[in-house]
Structure 1
Amino acid sequence: MSLQPRLQEDDLDRLWNDLPRLIEQDDGYAVKELLAKGIPAYYSEDDTPEGLLIRENPDGTRQLVRVSFDGDDIVIQNL
């Protein structure tokens, strides 16, 4: 039996603090991997309005959305 290590609170804090740097270094690999697995990817571009994200779906459609953690995302505009 293999035990998976659990993230400690310090690890989560470090990851959260490193996230902006990791995003800046991203070459699109993560988005491509998600889409290849049939999972929508969320990201922003330089001109994405504050508080919104672009949701790219595996079928290639893209939408400007407001993410709701309580339910479905709110689609602002199809891109």
Structure 2
Amino acid sequence: MNEMTRLAPADASDLWPVIEKGLARDGEFAVRDHLAAGFPVYYSESDTPAGLVVKEYPDGRRELVRHNRNADEVIRSL
């Protein structure tokens, strides 16, 4: 049984610690897998300005972007 199935309904509002733990454990694998499949990934770093994210492409290029539903607004290449 994993942590998600052990959560009682009363604990359902506090899933972030479980999600963060899973990302710490499996996040790097998921990122590598996504890039290998030819898709970009989005993330932030400690110095990423508020409202912006880093977009990394499978070829290693990185851009600082503002992400919205219509398209990414490229702020600058990194």
Q: TM-score, normalised by structure 2?
A: 0.68
Counterpart residue number, 1:73: 72
Counterpart residue number, 1:6: none
* Whole-angstrom distance in 2 between the partners of 1:58 and 1:38: 6
Q: TM-score, normalised by structure 1?
A: 0.67
- Runs of 4+ off more than 6 Å: none
Q: Deviations over 1:16-72 (max 9, x none)?
A: x42762476255222111100001000011111111100001111000000011x11
Query: Structure 2 unaligned runs (5+)?
Result: 1-11
Q: Once the two structures are aligned, what percentage of the paired residues are identical?
A: 43
Q: Would you say how many aligned residue pairs link Structure 1 and Structure 2?
A: 64
Counterpart residue number, 1:4: none
- CA spacing shift, 1:34–1:52, aligned 2, 3 Å: same
Q: Report which of the two has the higher share of helix.
A: 2
Among 6, 10, 18, the alignment partner of 2:16 is 18
Counterpart residue number, 1:51: 51
Query: Structure 1 unaligned runs (5+)?
Result: 1-13
* Whole-angstrom distance in 2 between the partners of 1:34 and 1:63: 17
* Secondary structure at the counterpart of residue 60 of structure 1: coil
